[in-house]
Amino acid sequence: MRSTGKGEDARYADLLDKRHGSSTTRAAALIFAPQSLALFVVSLPLQFGMVERSDVGVVGWVGVAVWAAGLFFEAIGDRQMRRFKSDPDNQGKIADIGLWSYTRYPNYFGDATVWFGIWLIAEEQWPGVLAVFGPLLMAGLLALGTGKRLLECSMSHRDGWDEYAARTRWFVPLPHWVQRRLHG
């Protein structure tokens, strides 16, 4: 929904425009192959969890709660951003509303949290413990890799970005009173 009607993702178009040769080969090598490998690793908790047949225990239910919290952050963050962007008065402004005032990336934080919740569910059985690389990779990509890095590169040119970035957590949200103490 977020990209409906917007055409090619500028990050991918920019990546492909900087290389020589066939655009299909470049897309396969630079976008699809790395995404396929990342998808395989990130989905390890699902892969391990699908083959285990046992009742859900305490850790699994904690995983369900973590998953639900992540889904809440991702869904509410995306909804708040859609509403913010739909107001013409907000054109070019930084969204400092709702969850976006607690973290610069509630949708990214939510997505990473969803995968840690799924891992906790799968982790209840021995092979699932090994699947921790999935949520670690997802969190790393979102917080330190392409997600945050590419978005902040484009956002850093907007008026008010430096102030917003200074007062708002970059990934893991904290209550405002804690943020004020950290930055105070």
Per-residue DSSP letter, 132: G
For 2, the token pair is: 């977020």
Q: What's the predicted TM-score (pTM) here?
A: 0.80
Alpha carbon distance 18, 13 (integer Å): 9
pLDDT score at 184: 63
Residue 16 clears pLDDT 90, i.e. is over it: no
Better-predicted residue by pLDDT, 107 or 179: 107
Query: What digits encode the pLDDT tens for the residues 33-46?
Result: 989 999 999 999 98
Residue 66 clears pLDDT 80, i.e. is over it: yes
Is residue 166 within 8 A of residue 183, CB to CB? The reply is: yes
For 85-131, the three-class secondary structure string (H helix, E strand, C coil) is: HHCHHHCCCCCCCHHHHCECCHHHHHHHHHHHHHHHHHHCCHHHHHH
